[in-house]
Amino acid sequence: KDHTLVLSVYNSAIGMRTMHEYALFCSAVRKANLGTAAEHLHNMSGLYPEIDARSPHEEVRKLIKGLCAVGDFLTAAQAVDDYAASFNLSNDARLKELEGDMYRYIGKSSRDPEAILRARDAYQEATDRSHYPNSSRVLGKVAASSSLIAELVA
């Protein structure tokens, strides 16, 4: 079992602002105030404090699903970008797979081949990272995404 401690370190001003935005984001997600949640997530772009790949990422998943349910696919895609920006320095393939999963959800909900393409690219990047034990599962997602793209553009 992996017992690695994962944390973000900020200077005090950025840290206080980020933790305040994080609390407001989580509260807005719990209250299903999707626009406000997306705004707080955007304010943390590149600074999201929960960066452990083992986390279930429940808040952001709930936000993406909620935005898609109301047809706000552009805000959902921006939320994925804002969230993923916090993991740019990570080589953990699980985070790329998560990004792909969120884009695939947007693409399937919106029937947008561009979102599915972004999902496929994220999955491909996840499989390219060395020693990823779930590569075969993710390769299946690459293939499924490619099939869905072909179906949407046909």
Percent of the chain's residues with pLDDT above 90: 58
Q: What is the pLDDT of residue 68?
A: 98
pLDDT tens track for 54-98: 889 999 999 999 999 999 999 999 999 999 998 888 888 889 999
Helices (H), 1-92: 12-30, 34-43, 58-69, 73-84
Model pTM?
0.88
**Does residue 81 contact residue 46 with C-beta atoms inside 8 Å?**
no
At 6, the pLDDT band (50, 70, 90 cuts) reads low
pLDDT tens track for 11-40: 889 889 999 999 999 999 999 999 999 999
Q: What is the pLDDT of residue 137?
A: 83
Highest mean pLDDT among 8-12, 18-22, 46-50: 18-22
What is d(CA 75, CA 42) in angstroms, rounded to the nearest whole number?
10
pLDDT tens track for 114-143: 999 999 999 999 988 766 677 788 888 989
Give the residue among 152, 151, 128 at the shortest CA–CA distance from 139: 128
Q: What is the pLDDT of residue 73?
A: 98
Residue 49, Cβ neighbours under 10 Å: how many?
15
Whether the predicted pLDDT of 48 surpasses 80:
yes
